């Protein structure tokens, strides 16, 4: 009787150990091999009385944080580009971290990103990783060769049927000096304005100006989320507005933070899928 009890206990412990091992292996496979490639397409609608009628239903693809060279290769990027082109949007916006480090063969991103098409063009800003271990010109040149306009405390006007909206872009906080005042200088106060800012927490400065929607990245949404555990590892300048849409009382100003497509440091994602966002701007009649 005692021997049978001993065998039962041993079998139970063995099964438990194997179960835990299996869960660890399965979890590791999911976080490393499945979720990082499982892109979530998020679709947002932004209503505004400031939007000109000519831009009603303007569709924008917003993507961020490719981190090319670190678990993002040319083959995967080309597949992502093909998916984005299927959306047939009007405008494509990228909010930084083209590469992960200075060792990335950034010339390999050019053929893929060059295939992205939108009638109103492609606009980008740089991120902090675009300054790490390499001159920022490395990412700037690659984006420009791929057909992007790279904004550094500047803005451009987009014109449709004689009406205009503005897209402003900030220099990266870690690599330069983001100057919202300089970026929006010359934009009429009544013009609908988008702001590209890699670090979302720059919103605290941006909300002081006549900006309608800030688009950001940087935080990866935390990249790894553990149920019941607050995310405390978001990067500096990506802690207040780390994921999704944020609105502010008594103002039309909004911030949207994209979780990004790539990864850095740990090559895993958990409960925080990579993201491409399709924003639709609609004129709201008051």
- What is the pLDDT at residue 140? 96
- What is the pLDDT at residue 22? 40
- What is the pLDDT at residue 8? 53
Sequence-distant (≥ 6) Cβ neighbours of residue 5 within 8 angstroms: none
β-strand pairing of 58-63 with 275-283: antiparallel
Q: How many C-beta neighbours within 10 Å does residue 248 have?
A: 11
d(CA 12, CA 282): 61
Which H helix or E strand runs over 77?
Answer: helix 74-86
Where exactly are the structural domains of the chain? 1-37, 41-283
- What is the pLDDT at residue 27? 52
**CATH number for the domain formed by residue range(s) 41-283:** 3.60.21.10
Q: What is the mean pLDDT of each run of 10 residues along the chain (286 residues)?
A: 48 42 51 85 98 98 93 93 98 96 87 98 96 88 98 98 98 91 98 98 97 97 84 87 95 96 86 95 89
pTM: 0.89
């Amino acid at each position: 009787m005692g021997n049978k009890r001993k065998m039962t206990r041993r079998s139970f412990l063995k099964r438990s150990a194997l179960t835990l091992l299996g869960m660890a292996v399965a979890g590791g496979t999911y976080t490393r091999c499945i979720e990082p490639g499982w892109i979530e397409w998020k679709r947002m609608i932004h209503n505004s009385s400031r939007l000109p009628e000519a831009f009603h239903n303007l569709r924008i693809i917003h993507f961020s944080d490719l981190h090319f060279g670190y678990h993002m290769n040319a083959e995967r990027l080309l597949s992502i580009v093909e998916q984005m082109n299927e959306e047939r949007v009007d405008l494509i916006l990228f909010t930084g971290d083209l590469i992960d480090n200075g060792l990335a063969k950034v010339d390999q991103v050019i053929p893929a990103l060059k295939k992205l098409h939108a009638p109103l063009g492609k606009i980008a800003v740089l991120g902090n990783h675009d300054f790490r271990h390499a001159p920022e010109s490395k990412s700037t040149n690659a984006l420009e060769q791929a057909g992007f306009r790279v904004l550094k405390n500047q803005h451009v006007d987009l014109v449709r049927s004689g009406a205009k909206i503005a897209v402003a872009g900030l220099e990266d906080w870690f690599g330069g000096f983001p100057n919202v005042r300089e970026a929006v200088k010359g934009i009429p106060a009544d013009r609908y304005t988008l702001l590209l800012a890699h670090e979302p927490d720059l919103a605290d400065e941006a909300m002081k100006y006549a900006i309608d929607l800030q688009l950001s990245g940087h935080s990866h949404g935390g990249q790894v989320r553990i149920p019941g555990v607050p995310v405390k590892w978001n990067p500096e300048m990506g802690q207040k507005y780390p994921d999704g849409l944020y609105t502010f009382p008594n103002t039309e100003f909004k911030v949207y933070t994209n979780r990004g497509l790539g990864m850095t440091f740990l090559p895993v994602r958990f409960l925080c899928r990579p993201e491409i966002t399709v924003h639709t701007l609609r004129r709201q009649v008051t």
